[in-house]
Structure 1
Amino acid sequence: MIKHLISLTLASVLLNGCSLYKMEIQQGNKITAEELAMVHPGMGSEQVQAILGTPLLVDDFHKNRWDYVFYLKRPSGAIERNGVTVFFQNGVVREIRQDPQPEAANAPK
């Protein structure tokens, strides 16, 4: 009986300890302003990939569009998201779009 009580107590403590730990969840490509400034219309796709890395999304139906998506959920619950879309025409960059950045006051820490 005492062994079972100790086992249950130990299991309870271990399971509660696991629920207290919260880790960061990061997905995608974090594109810095410096990296983005190096990409410009007229560049080839190989040059873009060398600077920004492999895009998270390449749509089979829209091969001329690369989406770089970034998502970070911090242990505090704060979420950071941003995205960059690069459009190509004839193998070179035609346009670059970036999601609007949150105001500094509202930016997660």
Structure 2
Amino acid sequence: MRPAPLTLTTLLCAMLALPGCAVFSDAPHYRGIAVSQHDLNELTPGISSQTDAQALLGPPTFVEQFDNNNWDYVSQVTKIRIGQTEGVKQQHVVVLSFDNNGILQGVSQKDLKDGVRVAMDGAQTPVPGGKPGFLRQLIGGVGSYNPLGSASDTSSARSSASGLGGAGAGAPGSSSGF
């Protein structure tokens, strides 16, 4: 006995449900420079230099802005969450501190639990002219389209057009290049 064929509606519903499964089965993404404990054991504070660290670990993820002697190596494991937003599942940060001569002074490691949550400020930057009303929002941009850019860019656009035989050719102050 032969089973009944699938109806078109059942097949269509199955096809629509399959893309949603990808949200729950997405593979994790590995980002950054993962530094192993074995690699860190190769570096000796007081002896190893910045050159040794870079030869062993590669260039740092970033050098701290206010202290150039601190090199940070950041690695993360992220995964797509519901709504296609990326969530950090694991994070490992290794900070190498050097003295002014480039000699390693210390190594510190931080994890995701060591992170500091920073709340976004809900205040808005004031805009000149106050808060636009409905009518101003509706027709406020009419006539402000300029395909050549801002007013300061018009002279450079005109001179570049003159080299192509455009309307600015032969204008005072323009060079045609021929």
TM over 0.5: yes
Distance 1:97 1:78 in 2: 21
**Residue 36 of structure 1: how far off its partner (Å):** 0.5
Question: Which AA in structure 2 matches 1:45?
Answer: Q
The higher-RCO structure (CA 8 Å, 6+ apart) is 1
Question: Distance in 2 between the 1:56 and 1:25 partners?
Answer: 17
Contact 2:76 2:88 in 1 (8 A): no
Paired position in structure 2 for 1:79: 89
- The answer for unaligned runs of 5 or more in structure 1 is 103-109
Corresponding residue to 2:108 among 70, 91, 97: 97
The 10-residue stretch of structure 1 (11-20 or 35-44) with the greater mean CA deviation from structure 2: 11-20
Q: Following the alignment from structure 1 to structure 2, what is the Cα–Cα distance between the partners of residues 42 and 32?
A: 20
Counterpart AA for 1:37 = N
Question: What TM-score, normalized to structure 2?
Answer: 0.44
- The residue that corresponds to 1:106 in the other structure is none
Q: Give the aligned partner of residue 37 of structure 2.
A: 33
Gaps of 5+ in 2: 1-8, 81-86, 114-178
Please name the residue that 1:22 is paired with. 26
Larger radius of gyration: 2
Task: Write the distance in 1 (CA, Å) between the matches of 2:69 and 2:60.
Answer: 12
Shift of 1:16: 3.2
Identity of aligned residues (%): 23
* Count of residues in Structure 1 that have an aligned counterpart in Structure 2: 97
1:80 maps to a residue whose letter is: Q
The amino acid that maps onto 1:16 is G
Aligned match of 1:12 in 16, 25, 28?
A: 16
What is the root-mean-square deviation in Å for CA atoms of aligned residues?
3.2
Report the alpha carbon displacement of residue 25 of structure 1 after superposing the two structures with TM. Answer: 1.9
Residue 61 of structure 1 deviates from its aligned partner by 2.6
Deviations 1:29-55 (A, max 9, x none): 111111010011321111101111211
TM-score (norm 1): 0.66
Cα deviation code 1:32-81 (max 9, x no counterpart): 11101001132111110111121112123311000111211357x88222
Preserved contact between residue 95 and residue 108 of structure 2 (Cα < 8 Å):
yes
The residue number in structure 2 matching 1:70 is 75
